[in-house]
Structure 1
C-alpha cells in the first residue's frame, strides 16, 4: 500500500507531517460515539502544486533521511523519522524550537546530567537538569548548560534549575510531562538543588 507524505517547511531540520492514504480518518470520535469532524486536520489541500489531493495533518514533526534500505525494485529510499508533536514546540524570538533538540544538546554537555527538560516561562527558556553526581557540580552545570544552548541553538537560557534524579515527570509511555514540570516550577514544588536566573 503506497502512502503519500507531504512535508511543509518548518525550520531547517523538522517538517510538519501530512498523510494522504485511502485509510485516512475523517474525524475523531467523542466519548458519546459521535464523529467530531475537524476539516482543518482531516480535509486539507495544498494551495500550490497538487491542489486536488486530500491530506490529513498529523500534528507531528519529522524529517526525511536517505537510508541504505531498498524497496522491492532494489532502489534505496527515504525513511520518515517522527520527532514529536507540534504542540510541544517552544516559540522563542519568533521562531519555533522542538524541546528534544535542546534537551539532547544539554544532556550531551556533561556526564553528570541524567535527564533534562525545557519549557518557556514569560518568554524565557527554562532548562531543568537532573544531576547524577555531587551537589558541588550543580554550580558548574549552569555555565555548561547556558553555553551549549547558546552555541548550538543561538538561544539565551533564562533559568537553569538543577534537581535530583527522578524529579522530571514521565508518563506511562516514557514521554516527558513538560507542562506538569512547568506547573511544579511555578508552584515552587521542585525542591531544587540550585537555581540560576539569567534575567
Structure 2
C-alpha cells in the first residue's frame, strides 16, 4: 500500500544502496529525503553531538550532485501517477518496504521480511502476527497463535509450504508463540532483532518449535 503523500517542500529520491546513484520509477532502493527540516546530527546519551555525514549530509554520486540528502535507512520506491494535488502538480506515490538493516540474505538473494510475513499471515486465520529473521543461514519464522494450542502443530506444515510456494525458500525453524510475544516499538514497528535475541536466549516460552535442519 502507498505510504503517503510527499509534502510540499520535501524532496524524496530513491538511491542505489551500493553506488549511491539515483534510481528510476518503481525501482527499489534506499529512501533519501531533502527538506528544510532535515537534521544535521543527533545527541548521544552522553550529551555530545554526533555528526554522521554519510547519513545526515550525503550527496548522489551522479545526476543532481549538489542537493544534500538525509539517508533514512529504509528501502522503498517511488511510483509516478497521473493524480494531481491541489496545486495541479503530479503526485508521486511513496512505498516503504522496510528497514535496510533487516533485509535477509539467503542463497545469495535479498529478501524483505514484510513480504514473507505477509504471505504467512494470510495463510491461516489463526495466525495473529508473524516475524522472520535468519539464524546460521537458516530462515526462522515466528508466528503468534490466535487460536487454540491444538492448531500449533498444523501451522508448521502450512507455514513451511506457503513460504516455499511463494518465495522458494525452505524454512529452517518454525516457532509458535502466544499473542503479544512479538516486541513492538513506540512507532508500531516489529523489533525482529530483539525477537531473534530472545529466541537465541531461549526466552520466548514457545507453544511449539519445529526444526527442519
The bucket for the TM-score relative to the shorter chain is 0.7 to 0.9
Instruction: List gaps (5 residues or longer) in structure 2.
Output: 1-17
State the 1:34 CA deviation. 3.6
Does the aligned pair in 1 maintain the 2:160–2:171 contact within 8 Å? yes
Q: Matched residue pairs, number?
A: 196
How big is each residue's C-alpha offset from its partner over 1:130-176, in whole Å with a ceiling of 9 and x where there is no partner? Answer: 11223332222112111211222222111011122222222343222
Relative distance call for 1:82 and 1:144 in structure 2 (3 A) is same
Moved more, 17-26 or 159-168: 17-26
C-alpha spacing 1:87/1:11, structure 2 compared with 1 (3 Å):
farther
TM-score of the two chains, using structure 1 as the length reference: 0.83
The question of whether the paired residues in 2 share the 8 Å contact of 1:5 and 1:18 is answered with no
- TM-score for both structures, normalised by structure 2: 0.78
Structure 1 ranges of 4+ moved more than 6 A: 4-7, 10-13
The Cα of 1:115 is off from its aligned counterpart by: 0.9
The change in CA–CA distance for 1:6 and 1:80 in structure 2 (over 3 A counts) is: farther
CA-to-aligned-CA distance 1:35-59 (integer Å, 9 cap, x gap): 3211211222222222232222111
Q: Is the 8 A contact 1:118 1:126 kept in 2?
A: yes
Secondary structure of 1:148's counterpart equals helix
Distance (whole Å) between structure 1 residues aligned to residue 78 and residue 24 of structure 2: 13
- Answer yes or no: is the 8 Å Cα contact 2:140–2:175 preserved in 1: yes
Question: Which segments of 5 or more consecutive residues in structure 1 lack a partner in the other structure?
Answer: none
